[in-house]
């Protein structure tokens, strides 16, 4: 039994993302809700998009670890970047952290007009899958 990430023939091949994830029956799926660049009190860590991005991924890592998973177990990321953020800085700060061993995860990214946390420039969510045995 294994989790499969694929780049099917006929679709663009990218080192940054796959197109399909197949999680077999019996695997544990872990969903991480939107994480912003905030500290443990909920305060924005910085006005800098890169610092917020790095913290948002670290917050996702903390959530994953609480469920017995890690960043390498993520099969799908959603990245929302505020329209006022410098896209290259915001995405550049997290792009390398979104990769994993083997095939890359699925990635959905969007530039949005606003986020639910005032002052937030990025929000990430993740789906991870692990085979426990």
pLDDT in tens, 4-28: 999 999 999 999 899 999 999 999 9
User: What integer pLDDT is reported at residue 101 of this predicted model?
Assistant: 83
Question: Percentage of the chain surpassing pLDDT 90?
Answer: 86
Mean pLDDT score, 59-84? 97
Helix H or strand E encompassing 94: helix 87-95
User: What integer pLDDT is reported at residue 94 of this predicted model?
Assistant: 87
Could you tell me which residues are beta bridge partners of residue 76? Answer: 106, 127
pLDDT for 84 beyond 90 = yes
> The tokens 């993302």 sit on which residue?
17
How far apart CA 43 and CA 60 sit, in angstroms, is 16
pLDDT digits (tens, 9 = 90+) for 26-46: 999 999 999 999 999 999 999
Could you tell me which residues are beta bridge partners of residue 29? Answer: 129
Q: What is the pTM of this model?
A: 0.93
């Amino acid at each position: 039994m294994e989790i499969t990430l694929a780049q099917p023939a006929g679709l663009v091949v990218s080192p940054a993302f796959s197109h399909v994830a197949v999680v077999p029956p019996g695997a544990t799926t872990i969903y991480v809700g939107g994480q912003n660049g905030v500290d443990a009190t909920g305060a924005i860590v910085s006005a800098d998009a890169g610092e917020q991005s790095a913290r948002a991924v670290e917050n996702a890592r903390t959530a994953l670890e609480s469920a017995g998973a890690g960043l390498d177990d993520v099969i799908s990321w959603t990245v929302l970047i505020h329209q006022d953020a410098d896209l290259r800085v915001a995405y550049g700060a997290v792009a390398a952290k979104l990769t994993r061993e083997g095939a890359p995860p699925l990635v959905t990214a969007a530039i949005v007009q606003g986020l639910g946390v005032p002052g937030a420039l990025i929000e990430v969510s993740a789906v991870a899958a692990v085979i426990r045995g």
